[in-house]
């Protein structure tokens, strides 16, 4: 099923396609602009991510881009116009758009895979960091471009990047922005896997299908637990884990898995 808010695919900046297996592919669709983020694109992406996050039939989300880029971050053409106008939207976009986008990607109750079909820059890179898995084409790259246009970092870059590569390397990548090629991204731990461009779609589809067949609510609880413990002490993290364990312990998937274990059978998960 494909949705595009009653517009043709050529018109809509974000497309959503859901497979029968429960994989929702959310695709940025401004290929001529390398999927740069206008206000309209950010609002459409928020709408799309909220919809798939709330849809009980969706059990895994893939975030990707059309054309030769994943996402190059803020649309600078629109940004320049807003600067000229002195528009309030220039700075309110961070709390109104970027922050909720990253929180949705990072905390929705289902796993998220970023399929990096091309360059991911600025907020585009940060969106990828918020996902659970980042599968990158060997022709793609990452650029923490914020300082290059004399801006601070946003979209959770200051939170995610040090956790992926350490504080010293994070500051190096942020203060001296450059396009990091795919193999170096893998070596640094910025991405999960690098494949050829021809293999990207198939690799992502296989991973997403595996995740979609798994215990969705348990996956959601695990990603919340990991995010919580990154900013809390042991005692608080243990208490949070206990809450999540109580929640997942009452799910159909847990009870089904226990029965399957006792019967020496492979469990089949429903995502409930």
- Structure pTM? 0.90
**Helix 123-130 and helix 157-165, axial crossing angle in degrees, nearest 10:** 60
Partnered with residue 119 across adjacent β-strands are 69
Do residues 165 and 224 share a domain?
no
Do residues 27 and 131 share a domain?
yes
Do residues 182 and 254 share a domain?
no
How many structural domains compose the chain? Answer: 2
Do residues 174 and 51 share a domain?
yes
Do residues 99 and 186 share a domain?
yes
147: DSSP letter: G
Q: How far is it, in rounded angstroms, from Cα 34 to Cα 261?
A: 48
Q: Is residue 272 part of a domain?
A: no
What is the CATH classification number for the domain harbouring 15?
3.90.226.10
Do residues 129 and 240 share a domain?
no
Q: Is residue 271 part of a domain?
A: no
pLDDT tens across the length of the chain (272 residues): 555 544 455 579 999 999 999 999 999 999 999 999 999 999 999 999 999 999 999 999 999 999 999 999 998 787 677 777 766 666 788 999 999 999 999 999 999 999 999 999 999 999 999 999 999 999 999 999 999 989 899 999 999 999 999 999 999 999 999 999 999 999 999 999 999 999 999 999 999 999 999 999 999 999 999 999 988 999 999 999 999 999 999 999 999 898 988 998 889 998 88
Do residues 81 and 170 share a domain?
yes
DSSP letters for 2-63: EE-TTS-TTT-SEEEEE-TTSEEEEEE--GGGTT-B-HHHHHHHHHHHHHHHH-TT--EEEE
Cα 272 to chain center, whole Å?
22
Range of the domain at 247: 216-262
Do residues 152 and 221 share a domain?
no
What is the CATH classification number for the domain harbouring 240?
1.10.12
Residue 265 burial (CB count, 10 A) = 11
Q: Is residue 269 part of a domain?
A: no
Query: How far is residue 114 from each of residues 125, 171, 192, 251, measured CA to CA in Å?
Result: 10, 23, 10, 27
């Amino acid at each position: 099923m494909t949705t595009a808010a009653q517009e043709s695919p050529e018109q809509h900046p974000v497309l959503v396609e859901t497979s029968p297996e429960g994989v929702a592919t959310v695709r940025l669709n401004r290929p001529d602009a390398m999927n740069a983020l206008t206000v309209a694109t950010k609002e459409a992406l928020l709408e799309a991510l909220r919809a798939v996050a709330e849809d009980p039939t969706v059990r895994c989300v893939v975030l990707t881009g059309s054309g030769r880029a994943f996402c190059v971050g803020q649309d600078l053409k629109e940004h320049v116009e807003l600067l000229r106008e002195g528009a309030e939207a220039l700075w309110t976009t961070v709390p109104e758009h970027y922050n909720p986008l990253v929180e949705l990607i990072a905390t929705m109750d289902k796993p998220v895979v970023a399929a990096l079909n091309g360059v991911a820059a600025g907020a585009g890179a940060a969106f990828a960091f918020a996902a659970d898995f980042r599968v990158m084409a060997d022709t793609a790259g990452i650029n923490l471009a914020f300082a290059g246009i004399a801006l601070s970092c946003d979209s959770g870059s200051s939170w995610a990047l040090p956790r992926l590569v350490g504080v010293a390397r994070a500051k190096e990548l942020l203060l001296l922005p450059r396009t990091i090629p795919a193999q170096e991204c893998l070596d640094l731990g910025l991405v999960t896997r690098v494949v050829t461009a021809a293999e990207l779609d198939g690799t992502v589809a296989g991973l997403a299908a595996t995740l979609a067949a798994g215990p969705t609510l348990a996956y959601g609880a695990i990603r919340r637990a990991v995010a919580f413990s990154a900013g809390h002490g042991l005692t608080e993290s243990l208490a949070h884990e206990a809450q999540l364990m109580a929640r997942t312990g009452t799910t159909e998937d847990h009870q089904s898995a226990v029965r399957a274990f006792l019967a020496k059978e492979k469990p089949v998960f429903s995502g409930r």
